[in-house]
């Protein structure tokens, strides 16, 4: 959540920064007006409580002197009723302030390219040769269906559109990938975690999905549970309402989980294949760091995700997203995009973001600095990697004219020495 003190003290700065994310100045003004009303009510309430204490002392004195205290008692009842009404009003306005503040995105870093659309992202680097074929490359879904390793038709029959079955070598390839990712992440210092796949609303609020993006998730009826859209949610909330031992920082978690997304607003986009599903596997990386270490951590995390693609031998590039294209919680995001020959373009396979103290404020995650004072940690998250999209990249980049698919060398030990996917 945005720091309310920063909004009060540096209003013009906050307006300028959030304007690059599509936030109107009126939203900031509304928040400040509600906040001022809350602060005025606090002053009034405290003044009335002081009056109540004074009247209470006067009543006690009158009773000790055996004097009539009826008028003062009547006054006390009225003051108490007024305080009760004001406290109720204060609760309402405090909730309004909290709601308004919780809907404002994180302030972008000065080095984030400004843009109100995805256009304008900055390419940081490019790796690998774009593959050339002496035949027309097929789409990953055509390849997978022809090999009998991807079954979209039965997935749609059983669950609906944007679901599928991985069959045989397809399931084994998926398993090989996420085991490879987890092993590499562990080598990089990440602790593997197997978290819950359902979380409560407080957790969804902590990482920024609620209250603004409730339409993007699957929530259970008549229960405060939501299927996770990413392992980031249970991993970050592991320390919700907690103080992390300073000597433990940085904390680095990784997890393989399914991700469940409604894909609201994606009608007509990527209707075929593995790019945009309602359920997919993803290996996630999350870090908790001290504030002065988070920007180096972002680059290290991005480089590690990129190394996974290099070891797989898949051409890709790294870009920095524009102010409006990065996630609600991010202060900066680097996207890794892999080359897909059939589409003749790069497509996203990982987003690595520094959320600074934005999520930590929402989830109340702190540590003690060198002076023993409580401070908010910085949180970072990144895909390492999205498994289904990596399968798509392998099928398209390693396809052969006869319909078979070569298996990247680094994955062959995970597939029992198998070097090629052939039709069974």
Order of strands, sheet of 226-227, starting from the edge strand that comes earlier in the sequence: 198-199, 226-227, 218-219
What does the pLDDT look like over 116-168, one tens digit per residue? 888 899 999 999 999 999 999 999 999 999 999 999 999 999 999 999 999 99
Average pLDDT over residues 232-246: 98
Asked whether residue 80 is marked as a ligand-binding residue, the answer is no
Name, in order, each residue with C-beta under 8 angstroms of 360's C-beta and a sequence gap of 6 or more.
366, 376, 377, 378, 379
Asked whether residue 231 is marked as a ligand-binding residue, the answer is yes
Residue 220 pLDDT exceeds 70: yes
Torsion of CA 159, 283, 230, 314, to 10 degrees: -80
Average pLDDT taken over every residue of the chain: 95
Cβ-based neighbour number of residue 369 at 10 Å: 12
Asked whether residue 262 is marked as a ligand-binding residue, the answer is yes
Asked whether residue 139 is marked as a ligand-binding residue, the answer is no
Options 3.30.930.10, 1.10.10.10, 2.60.40.650, 3.40.50.720; CATH of 122-421: 3.30.930.10
Asked whether residue 349 is marked as a ligand-binding residue, the answer is yes
Residue 265 pLDDT exceeds 70: no
Higher pLDDT, 79 or 27: 27
Residue 60 pLDDT: 87
- Classified by CATH at the fold level, domain 4-103 comes out as Helix Hairpins (1.10.287)
Bridge pairing between strands 279-289 and 405-406? unpaired
Asked whether residue 237 is marked as a ligand-binding residue, the answer is no
How far is CA 142 from each of CA 123, 312, 313, rounded to the nearest angstrom? 30, 22, 22
Bridge pairing between strands 150-151 and 251-260? unpaired
Q: Residue 101 has which token pair?
A: 């503040």
Q: Residue 312 has which token pair?
A: 């797989």
Residue 56 pLDDT exceeds 80: yes
Asked whether residue 381 is marked as a ligand-binding residue, the answer is yes
Residue 266 pLDDT exceeds 80: no
Peptide bond into 250 cis (omega under 30): yes
Percent of the chain scoring above 70 in pLDDT = 99
Average pLDDT over residues 350-357: 98
Residue 267 pLDDT: 66
Asked whether residue 350 is marked as a ligand-binding residue, the answer is yes
Asked whether residue 327 is marked as a ligand-binding residue, the answer is no
What does the pLDDT look like over 370-401, one tens digit per residue? 999 999 999 999 999 999 999 999 999 999 99
Residue 269 pLDDT: 77
pTM of the model: 0.93
Which residue, among 263, 202, 264, has the nearest Cα to 234 in the 3D structure?
Answer: 202
Residue 351 pLDDT: 97
Residue 153 pLDDT: 97
Residue 281 pLDDT: 98
Residue 32 pLDDT exceeds 80: yes
Average pLDDT over residues 399-417: 98
SS3 state at 133: coil
Asked whether residue 232 is marked as a ligand-binding residue, the answer is yes
Which residue, among 11, 89, 7, has the nearest Cα to 48 in the 3D structure?
Answer: 89
Residue 134 pLDDT: 95
Asked whether residue 261 is marked as a ligand-binding residue, the answer is yes
Average pLDDT over residues 163-179: 98
Torsion of CA 385, 388, 394, 400, to 10 degrees: 180
* Distance separating alpha carbons of residues 422 and 424, to the nearest angstrom: 6
Average pLDDT over residues 344-359: 97
CB 62, CB 72: distance < 8 Å? yes
Domains of the chain, by residue range, sit at 4-103, 122-421
What does the pLDDT look like over 196-208, one tens digit per residue? 999 999 999 999 9
């Amino acid at each position: 959540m945005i720091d309310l003190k920063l909004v009060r003290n540096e209003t013009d700065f906050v307006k300028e920064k959030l304007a690059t994310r599509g936030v109107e100045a009126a939203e900031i003004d509304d928040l400040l007006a509600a906040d001022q009303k809350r602060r005025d009510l606090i002053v009034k309430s405290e003044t009335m409580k002081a009056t109540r204490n004074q009247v209470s002392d006067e009543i006690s004195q009158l009773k000790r002197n055996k004097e009539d205290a009826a008028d003062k008692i009547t006054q006390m009842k009225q003051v108490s009723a007024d305080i009760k009404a004001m406290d109720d009003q204060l609760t309402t306005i405090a909730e309004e302030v909290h709601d308004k503040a919780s809907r404002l995105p994180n302030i972008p870093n000065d080095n984030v390219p400004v843009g109100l659309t995805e256009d304008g992202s900055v390419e940081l680097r490019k790796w690998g040769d774009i593959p050339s074929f002496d035949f027309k490359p097929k789409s990953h879904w055509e390849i997978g269906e022809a090999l009998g390793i991807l079954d979209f038709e039965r997935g749609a029959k059983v669950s609906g559109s944007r679901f599928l079955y991985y069959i045989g070598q397809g399931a084994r390839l998926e398993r090989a990938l996420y085991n490879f990712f987890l092993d590499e992440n562990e080598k990089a210092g990440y602790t593997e975690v197997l978290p819950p796949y359902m979380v409560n609303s407080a957790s969804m609020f902590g990482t920024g999905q609620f209250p603004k993006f409730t339409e993007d998730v699957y929530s259970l009826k008549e229960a405060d549970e939501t299927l996770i859209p990413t392992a980031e949610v249970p991993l970050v909330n592991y320390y919700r309402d907690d103080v992390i031992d300073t000597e433990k920082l940085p904390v680095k978690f990784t997890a393989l989980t399914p991700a469940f997304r409604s894909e609201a607003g994606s009608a007509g986009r990527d209707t075929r294949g593995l790019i945009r599903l309602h359920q997919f596997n993803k290996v996630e990386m999350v870090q908790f760091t001290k504030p002065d270490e988070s920007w180096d951590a972002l680059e290290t995390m991005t480089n590690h995700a990129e190394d996974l693609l290099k070891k797989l031998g898949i051409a890709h590039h790294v870009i920095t997203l524009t102010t409006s294209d990065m996630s609600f919680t991010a202060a900066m995001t680097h996207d890794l995009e892999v080359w897909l020959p059939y589409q003749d373009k790069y497509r996203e396979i990982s987003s690595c973001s520094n959320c600074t103290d934005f999520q930590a404020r929402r989830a109340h995650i702190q540590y003690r600095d060198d002076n023993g004072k409580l401070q908010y940690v910085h949180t970072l998250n990144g895909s390492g990697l999205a498994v289904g999209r990596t399968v798509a990249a392998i099928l398209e980049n390693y396809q052969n004219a006869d319909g078979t698919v070569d298996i990247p060398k680094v994955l062959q030990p995970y597939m029992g020495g198998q070097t090629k996917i052939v039709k069974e």
